[in-house]
Structure 1
Amino acid sequence: MKLTTKLLAATAIVAASGAHATDLEVMHWWTSGGEANAVSKFADAWNATGNVWVDGAIAGGGDTARPIMVSRIIGGDPPAAFQFNHGRQAEELVEAGLILDITDVSEAEGWADIITPSSLLDSCTYDGRVFCVPVNIHSWQWMWLSNAAYENAGLDVPTTWTEFAASADALREAGVVPLAMGGQSWQQNGAFGVMALALAGQEAWLAVNQDKNAEVVMGPEYTRVFEAFGAARSLSDGLNVQDWNQATAAVIDDTAGAQIMGDWAQGEFALAGEVAGTDYSCLPGLGEVALLDTGGDAFFFPVTGDPEIEAAQKELAALLLSPAVQVSFNSAKGSLPVRPDVDLTTVNECTQKGLDLLASGAMVPAGTQLLAPDTVTQLNDLMTEFWSTPSMTPAEVQQQYADIIADAE
């Protein structure tokens, strides 16, 4: 699939890209089974143009991959494209002039009229210029539950966090770990963020993450969250895994009752042949507050100084948002497309819940769009320390959390 006629007419450089095949190295951290299946949809579509997708997957997740990508870029050996979360992660690279301006592609393709919600394109825009292409909407705000684990324990599948917490003892008696949690720090902080939005509510969550209001962190709404998160620490005892997809596998294998994880977990369920509503259930907003945060992934394109590479980079940027590619990729990834004009009539019931929430406007920006990367790192470290230190009290972590938010940019 090539660029639209409008874009070909708009830039001679892009028009020249169709003349011969171009190899593009694309770096990303999608290495689990479901993620690899999803990214192959991008690769297949790019290769079908006669160009070549050179896969630069980095295992270990974003915390491992991002420093490697940045090192390549500032070291003068950049890939042609790289995945970050859309938001503030690439600000310094853009400010340093190391990222290709793709405003011409955005304007020619009409991204401002296509991409929904508009905050996704805003997250790619710096000083009025567009520097990345958002490719999906990923929301952290989900809990996934094993239907068989509950059935075997003689329990109904919970419909809220409150019901889930009440079911934990009975799950233990049935030999099931109530809550699957991996060991990476972003998982603990991510789960806390889900609980904060679900239990403290939208107003308090926005006051903390958007307005950086440390007083709200110390208020009664967030006190409830810290206490609930503290009580949840023991629910993962008995499951010793590191990666998020290993925790998802415990839910798939029915050895864990539930997992708080973003909708990318659906890629693992799909790859395992699990059927939403039959083998597993899903609770947006933990069944307490049905809201989605509109995070996700975007591709940035480093400046290379090579006109041929630049033309191919812009061609790839447009292809990633083409309707057919949006459907194939997001269907495999478990995410939602960034354009609402594509046919998703065959999606499962969990994805449909997400689409319905987006259509109703029940959404907030993702933390990565509101908090600087350094702040996110500090919160990741704090919440994983709390999760793994039973002697650390909710009141202690609450004060430290408030201190970080008070200093946040």
Structure 2
Amino acid sequence: MYKQRSRMVAGLLAALTLGVAGYAAATAPAPRAEVMHWWTSSSESAAVRKFADAYRAVGGTWADTAIAGADQAKAVAINRIVGGNPPTAAQFNTTKQFRDLIDQGVLNNVDDIATRDHWDQLMPQPLLDVIKVQGHFYAVPVDVHMSTWIWYSKAAFKKAGIVKEPATPDELFATLDKLKAAGLIGLAHGGQPWQENILFQAMLANVGGKELYLQVLRDRSPRAINSEAFKRVLLAFKRLQGYVDAGSPNRNWNDATALLINGKAGVQIMGDWAKGEFAAAKQSAGKDFGCIAGLGANVPYLIQGDAFVFPKTKNADAVRAQKLLATTMLAPSAQLEFNKIKGSLPILSNVDVSGMDVCAQAGAAILKEKSRAVGMIEVFLTPDQNGALQDVLTTYWNTRMPVEKAQKEIASALQD
């Protein structure tokens, strides 16, 4: 453990020496940084400690403010920023969640770091489109998450006699049938609106394809939403409900992942943060569990991620802390240490991922096909639009709402 920490510190210091140490050199010791985030699960906590360790390694003081629940954490951050008592840095997703803060002029930009680290060339375009507003960069992305991975338990597949992972939507449903027939939970799911939103996105991407996905979410086209193709997407989404268990309502996502880890369920559709739970349970990708990025060769790879915003402040030490935090979090060694545990990919494409697991390497290879990287749902929708869509999807999932009515209500929810 000591050797690993020494290598991490050495790597970070080497990176800082290559042009990113100016902020650290000017602040000895480096200032205190209060970092607000919602990473509270076991794997998430382990991941964020890597950033904390890296910041302390360059002399900084990391003050951790962890708040359970993303919505709660964001609400507290916004209230503190607006109320004049901001943290040094606050976590948001790399979506439109912090656009109002940009418009209100309460965030510092990080243009100098973005220019220095060549973000325009090295970050995925869908995420750049969110953080760059009117030519300025207002957040520091720290990872790339893909929201709709299909995870499966090798032990459950073996018990059900499944020898080949599904490669099409029809094969996925056939796989779920076999798991159910073997007395297993076909689909491990937590019955919460945001998780149903993920299932919907998975069906829209895998059944509908990239063109329909963009027509529905980016363009919010009533014609596309009311089409027969979109009806098939919604029917596939609702069909998944036949494979969840009675304990599904209000289950946390990591508890659903535990069902795969324990071999009680066969499949989970969830973002790659689930991989952190497998790692915490000492399970290995390709050996104990499998991962499918898409049911077809050209399925869009739906991405978002986590980012930190830096509220404006008159405190010079806080500004220096913000610069050093951004520098530290983007150093290659810290990026690798963090993302290996978090389950995500480094945000900069020039970070060597050859030492990461097979799922991460598969994702990195797909990202090189720039046309396949598409923003997940909140990249295109405002929080209000996304909330309205989630309301419709959850009602459709949990009631006998006719699919045609769901189409009409989705069209209404997505209009400005």
* Matches for 1:301-340 after TM superposition, within 5 Å: 301-340=310-349
Please say if residues 44 and 276 of structure 2, whose CA atoms lie closer than 8 Å, have aligned partners that are also in contact: yes
Structure 2 residue runs of 5 or longer lacking an equivalent are 1-11
Residue 151 of structure 2 is aligned to residue 144 of structure 1: yes
In the alignment, the residues of structure 1 paired with residue 276 and residue 142 of structure 2 have an alpha-carbon distance, to the nearest angstrom, of 16
After the TM superposition, which residues 170-319 of structure 1 pair with which residues of structure 2 at under 5 Å, given as runs? 170-240=178-248, 241-287=250-296, 289-319=298-328
- Counterpart residue number, 1:153: 160
C-alpha deviations, 1:88-108, integer Å up to 9, x for none?
111111111211122122223
By how many angstroms is 1:289 displaced? 4.6
SS of the aligned residue for 1:273 comes to coil
Normalised TM-score (structure 2): 0.91
Aligned to 1:67: 75
Do structure 1's residue 371 and structure 2's residue 381 form an aligned pair? yes
| Aligned AA (1:302) | P
TM-score (norm 1): 0.92
Letter of the 1:121 partner, please give it.
Answer: L
What whole-Å deviation, never above 9, does each CA across 1:227-251 have from its counterpart, x for those lacking one?
1111111211333352111111111
Given the alignment, which residue of 101, 108, 129 partners 2:116? 108
Q: State how far apart, in whole Å, the 2-side matches of 1:197 and 1:4 are.
A: 43
CA contact (8 A) 2:124 2:373 kept: no
- Pairwise CA distance, 1:386: 2.0
Shift in CA distance, 117/211, structure 1 to aligned 2, threshold 3 Å:
same
Three-state SS of the structure 2 residue aligned to 1:201 is: helix
Call closer, same or farther: CA 1:170–1:238 in 2, change over 3 Å.
farther
C-alpha deviation, 1:16, in angstroms: 7.0
Q: Is the 8 A contact 1:140 1:293 kept in 2?
A: yes
Deviation at 1:69, TM superposition (A): 1.5
Asked whether the 8 Å contact 1:180–1:239 carries over to 2, the reply is: no
In structure 2, distance between residues paired with 1:16 and 1:276: 40
How many residues matched? 400
Q: 2:130 aligns with which of 99, 103, 123?
A: 123
Q: Residue 168 of structure 1 corresponds to which residue in structure 2?
A: 176
The verdict on how the C-alpha distance between 1:310 and 1:237 changes in structure 2, with shifts beyond 3 A counting, is: same
**Aligned-residue offset at 1:309:** 0.7
Measure, in 2, the Cα distance between the counterparts of 1:271 and 1:287.
30
| Distance of 1:221 and 1:143 partners within structure 2 | 22
**Which consecutive residues of structure 1, in runs of 5 or more, have no partner in the other structure?**
none
Q: 1:63 to 1:387 in 2, by over 3 A?
A: farther
Query: Hey, what's the Cα distance between the residues in 2 that align with 1:167 and 1:330?
Result: 30
8 A Cα contact 1:142 1:282, kept in partner? yes
- Mapped partners of 1:153, 1:110: distance in 2: 49
The amino acid of 2:54's aligned partner reads A
For residues 237 and 173 of structure 2, what CA distance do their matches in structure 1 show? 11
Contact kept, 8 Å, 1:86 with 1:120, in 2: the verdict is yes
Contact 1:177–1:235 (8 Å) recurs in 2:
yes
* Partner residue in 2 for 1:84: 92
- 3-state SS of 1:165 partner: helix
Aligned-partner residue type, residue 92 of structure 2: F
Question: C-alpha distance in 2, partners of 1:17/1:57?
Answer: 28
Distance 1:109 1:42, change over 3 A: same
Deviations 1:358-400 (A, max 9, x none): 11222212222211111111112221222222x2222222221
Deviation at 1:141, TM superposition (A): 2.7
- Alignment RMSD: 1.9
Alignment CA distance shift 1:262-1:242 (3 Å) = same
What is the SS of the residue equivalent to 2:150?
Answer: strand
| Percent of pairs with identical residues | 39
Cα shift at 1:175: 2.1
